[in-house]
Amino acid sequence: MNEQKLFIAVLVQGMTDALNMFRWSSRLNSKYQIEAEEWIGSKDFKIVCSFAQCEPSEIIKMYKDISKHKHYLTLEDIRYLLNETFNRRFVL
């Protein structure tokens, strides 16, 4: 796995956590969601975006677009959409 793919995977995980889309239920999920929401747009987020060779504003727009429709999407749907979007926009 090259470094760009690794950092894209970090972005996908952060966005799914911020969307409260977890594989398993846990009492800590709400804590993880809040932390992920605070991470999006932060200095660390921007550093990860730079390593992923992505514009932070584009990633934030993707996150906002998906969050409008998350009520009828599964975790797998969201991961698929994000990965396909990254593959198309950033040609991995």
CA 48 to chain centre: 11
Supply the pLDDT for residue 85.
87
Q: pLDDT higher for 2 or 43?
A: 43
For 17-38, the pLDDT digits (tens) are: 999 888 777 788 889 999 999 9
Q: Determine the straight-line distance between the first and last CA of the chain, rounded to whole angstroms.
A: 11
Supply the pLDDT for residue 69.
85
Alpha helices in the chain, H assignment, sequence order:
3-18, 29-39, 43-51, 56-67, 75-90
For 43-91, the pLDDT digits (tens) are: 999 999 999 999 999 999 999 988 898 888 888 888 898 888 888 876 5
pTM, full prediction: 0.85
Q: How far apart are CA 18 and CA 92, in angstroms?
A: 24
Angle, vertex CA 87, rays to CA 82 and CA 61, nearest 5: 45
Angle, vertex CA 84, rays to CA 78 and CA 89, nearest 5: 125
